[in-house]
Structure 1
Amino acid sequence: MSEARHDLHALFPDEGPILHALKVEDARFRDLADRHHAIEVEIQRLEAGLGAASDERLEELKKQRLRLLDEVMAMIAARKVE
């Protein structure tokens, strides 16, 4: 699985300008993006067999990723109504 597949710009291809503005202007968004990236790298590493983790740990990481994406989507939606 390619890392680019889970890059925020790849996940939200129509939101490039908003994602850029959020990265530049919002420290909370930068933190969410950094956390998303770190979790995505860990998931890919575990799925590639480069580390050991229980199925429960992998599922928890995937749930964390989804929660972060929900927050990112909410921030994008809020920016659209500004």
Structure 2
Amino acid sequence: MSNAPNDLLEDFPDKVDRIRQLKESNNRFGRLYDEYNELNRTIHRVETRVEPKPEEVEEELKRRRLQIKDEIMAMLDNESA
């Protein structure tokens, strides 16, 4: 259980400027970024039992967050190549 939601800018401190640029210039990236942040907030509420959910639901939320993070990382890698 985490005490605070994960933040992409903290996870990728060396890519902060690129993340901000892509949020503005790439609609797909912006949607993924927003979805990632919304999932983070939801997962945090579930983990802290503010909004408890069945374990299966929590695991599915985490899987989706990881999929989005992987896609965002791939986009960051492609954009910086």
TM-score after normalising by structure 2: 0.92
2:30 maps to 30
Deviation at 1:52, TM superposition (A): 2.6
Q: Which has the higher helix share?
A: 1
Could you tell me the percent identity over the aligned residues? 33
Q: CA-to-partner distance for each residue in 1:7-64, whole Å, 9 max, x for gaps?
A: 1110101001111110110111110011001111010001111113110000000000
2:18 maps to 18
Aligned equivalents of 1:71 and 1:39: distance in 2?
A: 15
Query: Unaligned regions of 5+ residues in structure 2, if any?
Result: none
Aligned equivalents of 2:8 and 2:58: distance in 1?
A: 20
TM-score after normalising by structure 1: 0.91
1:60 maps to 60
- After superposition, the CA RMSD in angstroms is 0.8
Q: How many residues align?
A: 79
Query: Unaligned regions of 5+ residues in structure 1, if any?
Result: none
Aligned equivalents of 1:52 and 1:15: distance in 2?
A: 33
1:50 maps to 50
Deviation at 1:77, TM superposition (A): 0.4
Q: Structure 1 stretches (4+) deviating beyond 2 angstroms?
A: none
